[in-house]
Chains A and B, each alone.
Chain A
Amino acid sequence: MDSASIYYLGVTLILFLAFAAIVARTYSKRHRDKGEEPKFRMMDDDKPKKDDHPEN
Chain B
Amino acid sequence: MNQQEGYADDIVKGFVIWSMVWGLVAVLVGVFISFQIAFPQLNFPPYLTYGRLRPIHTNAGIFGWGIGSFMAFFIYITQRLTRTSLWSPGLAKAQLWLFNVVIALAAVTLAMGMNRSKEYAELEWPVASLVVVLWVIFAVNIVMTIVKRREEQMYISLWYILATLVGVAVLYLVNNASIPVSLTKSYSAYAGANDANVQWWYGHNAVAMVLTTPPLAIFYYFLPKATGVPIYSHRMGVIAFWSLIFMYLWTGAHHLLWAPVPDWVQTLAMAFSVMLIAPSWAAVFNGYFSMNGQWHQMRENYLVKFLIFGITFYGLQTLQGPSQSIRTFSAFIHFTDWVPGHVHMGTLGWVSLVLFAAIYYTIPRLYHTEIYSVGLANVHFWLVLTGQLIFSITMWIAGVQQAAMLNATNPDGSLHYSFIETMVELYPYWHMRALGGVIYLAGLLVFLYNIYQTIAGAKTQAVAQRA
Contacts and interface: CB of A to CB of B under 8 A. Distances in A.
Nearest to A27: B235
Given A45-B83, A52-B83, A39 B224 contact: yes
A52 B85 contact: yes
Contacts of A13: none
A20 to B, nearest CB: 10
Contact of B235 (A16, A26, A45, A48): A26
A38 B220 CA distance: 12
Nearest to B243: A19
Contacts of A54: 5-8, 85
B1 A46 contact: yes
Contacts of B3: 46-47
Contacts of A7: none
A23 B278 CA distance: 14
A27 B151 CA distance: 22
A42 B149 CA distance: 13
Interface of A: 15-16, 19, 22-23, 26-27, 32, 34-43, 45-49, 51-52, 54-56
A48 B246 contact: no
B6 A52 contact: yes
Indicate the member of B4, B81, B153, B221 with the most A CB atoms within 10 Å. Answer: B153
B84 to A, nearest CB: 6
A55 B230 contact: no
Contacts of A52: 6, 83-85, 150
Given A26-B235, A39-B230, A48 B84 contact: yes
B34 interface: no
A43 B303 CA distance: 17
A34 B234 CA distance: 10
Contacts of A26: 235, 238-239
B3 to A, nearest CB: 7
Given A19-B246, A55-B89, A48 B239 contact: no
A49 B83 contact: yes
Nearest to B87: A55
Contacts of A19: 242-243, 246
A34 B238 CA distance: 12
Contacts of A27: 235, 239
Nearest to B236: A26
Nearest to B1: A46
A38 B246 contact: no
A2 to B, nearest CB: 13
A55 B84 contact: no
Given A40-B230, A52-B83, A56-B10, A46 B4 contact: yes
Given A37-B234, A48-B85, A54-B7, 7 more contacts: A38-B153, A39-B224, A45-B80, A47-B3, A47-B4, A48-B83, A49-B150
Contacts of A39: 155-156, 224, 230-231, 233-234
A32 B242 CA distance: 17
Nearest to A35: B235
Given A22-B242, A35-B238, A48 B155 contact: no
Contacts of B1: 46
Contacts of B4: 46-47
A26 B81 CA distance: 20
B235 A36 contact: yes
Contacts of B89: 55-56
Contact of B155 (A42, A51, A55): A42
B79 interface: yes
B154 interface: yes
Complex A-B, nearest 7 residue pairs according to Cβ-Cβ distance, in ascending order: A54-B85, A45-B80, A49-B150, A38-B155, A39-B234, A39-B230, A48-B6
